[in-house]
Amino acid sequence: MTLTTQDVEKVAHLARLQLDPQATDAYSQALTSILALVDQMQSIDTDGVLPMSHPMDATQRLRIDEVTEQPDRDHLQKIAPATEQGLYLVPRVVE
């Protein structure tokens, strides 16, 4: 699929992009080569190939999920705008 400079200008207008008029020819050539690569990749037979999430069979090391700090409710409620009986008071949203 070959893109013309008019195609690039139309897509840029739809995407609300401002392109340099001298660069539209280079953009059309670059996008044409990208689309050619996509066409080439789509022509490959992938039947029987399982999808993978990562090309390397790697696992991510995770840290242990443990509580390291206890919240100080009394301190946090002192700096809150309004509290009552250990609860935070907020403006009514739904009537």
- What is the per-residue DSSP string for the chain? ----HHHHHHHHHHTT----TTTHHHHHHHHHHHHHHHHHHHTS--TTPPP-S-SS----------------HHHHHHSSS-EETTEE-------
Mind listing the pLDDT tens digit for each residue in 13-40?
999 999 998 899 999 999 999 999 999 9
Residue 78 lies in a domain: no
Does residue 31 lie in a domain region? yes
The count of domains in the chain is: 1
**Given the structure tokens 């002192």, which residue do they identify?**
78
CATH number where 23 lies: 1.10.20
Residue 71 included in any domain: no
pLDDT at 2 over 90: no
Question: Does residue 58 carry a pLDDT above 80?
Answer: no
Q: How many CB atoms neighbour CB 27 within 10 A?
A: 19
Indicate the pTM of the whole model.
Answer: 0.51
Residue ranges making up the domain that contains 24: 5-42
Average pLDDT over residues 71-88: 91
Question: Is a pLDDT exceeding 80 seen at residue 57?
Answer: no
